[in-house]
Structure 1
Amino acid sequence: MFDRFFQQAEERSGDNDVPIDTSNVPKHIAIIMDGNGRWAKKKGLPRIAGHREGMKVIHRIVEKANDLQVKYLTLYAFSTENWKRPKTEVDFLMKLPEQFLDKELPKLKRNNVKVRIMGDESVLPVHTLRAVHKAVDETAANTGLILNFALNYGSRHEIVNMVKQIGEEIESNTLSPADINEKLLTERLLSSGLPDPDLLIRTSGEIRLSNFMLWQLAYSEFWFTNVLWPDFGEEDLEEAIRTYQQRKRRYGGI
């Protein structure tokens, strides 16, 4: 039922002749990049081939988002649950940030893109952290699109750690329960400093959040597509934005 609903919704909104309203582009787009393994399987290739192809898509989507003047782009690169995958696949995934940034960092710097990371860094390999931190440091002064990689990220893990931190501060009398409000919680999340996503995109036909930004997506618009991430192109991003622009965001009001 839901597959038919979202397919019909995309068909209704998928008029590529409709121009994008540049005054109403989502400020923050978050993407669950899904379908690399299935893309590879369909072509009789190993799963890592799908991940390698998916990495190439990131470059094109970042450039397109930048051209459209999107201010923030969050990409779900690796979840806290992805460690359950075979070690060979995990090891390959941990090398992708290094491979991507080694090639793309000069372009990101030229395009005024600022890189940041959101996730639990404590168990990430040294070579992965070295590449990401280099990109973060060398783009720190940039003022354009903020490219936020959710790497070893899980929303429940994020919230549990935030609650622990608040509990410790209350126990040490540096924080009062009366001080706890939505603003305080938002500032303690790993996404602190970023606005909540206006639009969530998920590829591959799956219709779930997969432990991604559960607090931050409370009032985001969702757009699901059957396109697998390695096949996701600039025109798909434009279609998602057109759909977003046809919706009325009421935030609980009338």
Structure 2
Amino acid sequence: MKAVARLWVIPLVLAVWELVARGLADTDFPPPTTIVARMYELWFSGPQVFTDDAIDNLLPSLGRMFGGWVLAAVIGVTAGVLLGRSRTATDYVDPLIEFGRSIPPPLLLPVFLILFQTGLATQLATIVFGVIWPVLLNSIDGARSVDSTYVETATVFNLSRAQRLRVVVLPAASPKIFAGLRLSLSLALILMVITELIGGTDGIGYQLLQAQRSFDGAGVWAAIALLGILGYVVNSLFVLAERRVLVWHRQATRG
């Protein structure tokens, strides 16, 4: 109820925005009603729920974002948990990790384009490279911070290394792993847009670029609004899934 009560700020901001924008009468700063009308015209004015233009641009963007995020999650969690259980291995690769995470992912777009030759592979590689670091570092930290008592108990029960990872390490490290996954999901959305702005042929970012080139101010804001809504929905769904998966952790913390 508290979260719902705090939503009053949204209509207040929109109302102020509407008044200010109408007072300025600037096509580059349209009021929310104009933006919503443009969104409807672009994506919802056809005979079906989503127009062909929406499907041709929204679905490829979602595919790139979630494809890159899933790849980064699998690689990051696997490598992070293994490295987190071996301090020696972490010490060896730590300089490489620090070097890699300091490189801005968009700068590697030309390199990936030379390596992979195709737009989709280049975009996925850029997203994976950019979002893997929060997952990897949080997985390392989570696996390293597992209470030694749990590991010793598993050893007493003669659990194999694989069983210890599955039964003890992964559940204990899961809160930090999920924190990294949530952060990386937001980064995946940002990098998806960047890769589509630079050399893309479809997607929300490409549509945003086309609107900017045609001086369609309302179209630019409509694409930005769509990205904001998409980010909010994706984050809300992830938080809901996280709460369901980690319900045992909250109960243990309260206890």
For normalisation by structure 1, the TM-score amounts to 0.24
Which one scores higher on RCO, CA 8 angstroms, separation ≥ 6? 1
Higher helix fraction (1 or 2): 2
For normalisation by structure 2, the TM-score amounts to 0.24
Higher strand fraction (1 or 2): 1
